[in-house]
Amino acid sequence: MKKILNRPEDVVEEMIEGLVAVHDDIVHRVGDSRVVARNYEGAGKVGLVSGGGSGHEPSHAGFVGKGMLSAAVCGDVFTSPTVDQVYEGIKAADKGAGVFLVIKNYTGDVMNFEMAKEMAEENDGIKVEYVITNDDIAVEDSTWTEGRRGVAGTVLVHKLCGALAENGASLAEIKEEAEKIIKEMATLGLALTPAIVPQAGKPGFELAEDEIEFGIGIHGEPGYRKEKLTTSAGMAKEFYDKIKAELKLTPEDEVVVFVNGMGGTPLMEQYVFANDVLALLKADNIPVAKKILGDKMTAIEMAGISLTIFRIKDKKWLDLLNQEVEVIGW
C-alpha cells in the first residue's frame, strides 16, 4: 500500500484537521468532534446536515458552507458516523428553524441518523426532518443496504435543499421538495480498479487488469456484471440506456447530466465519457439544461465513473442548482 499518510488509524482525524486548516475561511471543526460546520451563521434558517463514512471527499465536508450544508459528520473510512457524532452535527446546524438531514441509503447511516434525530428532538426540542437518497439503480438490497443505495445523486440533493434553505424555505417545505427531487434522478457507476482502505492495507475487491465491474457501489459493494474492458462509448450507452428506461425519458423532458469521478479517474477520461453521454442524449433529442463533471462523491482512489441523470420537473430546480454557493467542493 502506497499512500500519503502518517499512521493509518489517524487518517480521518488528520484529514479533518487539514481540511479545516486549509479552508478556515469557510468551515471549522466543532470542538473535538468529527463534525465540520460552516462559519456562515444562516441565522433563522433551516440547517442542513449530511455525512457518512470518510473516503468520499469532497463529500461531505466539501459541501459545507453558505448555500449548501450547515454541517457534515465524518465517520471512519467507509463507516457510518456514530449516533453521538450526528447528534453534535444537528446541534451545530440548528439556527432556530429546525434541521434537515440528507441521508444516503445505507443501513448504518439510516439507523444512526434517525436515532440522532430522536435525541435532538427529545433532549433539545430541535425539529428535525430528513430524506433518504436512493438514486443508485444498479442493484437492490445489496451489502449494507435495504433497497437502493444512495450515491452521487446525493450531491445534487445537497445543492437543491441547501439553496431552498438559504432562500428561507421552511423545514416542511424542504422535506416536501426533497421527496419530489429524489424520484427524478438515477445513477449508475462502474469500477476499473478497487480502493484500498488505509486501515486494511489491501484492495477491498479484485478486478483483473482487463476487467471492469458495472453497477459497483461507492464502498466497493458488488455490482451487477463483470466484463472485459470496453470503450467509453460502450460504457456510456449501457448506463444511458438503463437510466433512460428507469426515468422513462422523452424529448419532452429537460435533464441535468452529472458525470462523477470515483477518485482515481483523470479528468481527460471523464470528459471523453461525458462527450459520449451527451451524444446519446442529442441523438434522442433530449435537452440538457446543465452539465456537471468532476470528483464529487469518490471512493478513495478507485478508478471508475458514475453517471447521474436528473430530470427537471420543476423549472425552479434549475435556478436552485445555479444559485451561487460558498463551499469547497462545488
What is the pLDDT at residue 139? 85
158 belongs to the catalytic site: no
Cα distances from 34 to residues 25, 72, 154, 230, 299, in angstroms, run 19, 8, 20, 41, 19
**Domain 186-322 belongs to what architecture?**
2-Layer Sandwich (3.30)
Catalytic one of 23, 56, 60, 158:
56
For the chain, the structural domain boundaries read 10-183, 186-322
Catalytic one of 23, 60, 158, 219:
219
State pLDDT tens for residues 209-256. 999 999 999 998 889 999 999 999 999 999 999 999 999 999 999 999
Closest by CA to 39, choosing from 49, 25, 22, 52, is 25
The 10 Å Cβ neighbour count of residue 51 is 31
Give the pLDDT band of residue 142 (cuts 50, 70, 90).
Answer: low
- What CATH class has 10-183? alpha beta
What is the pLDDT at residue 147? 86
Torsion angle, CA of 35/310/133/36, rounded to 10 degrees? 0
219 belongs to the catalytic site: yes
What is the pLDDT at residue 278? 98
pTM of the model: 0.97
State pLDDT tens for residues 61-74. 999 999 999 999 99
- Residue where the block lists cell 459520449: 276
- Domain 10-183 and domain 186-322 have a common topology: no
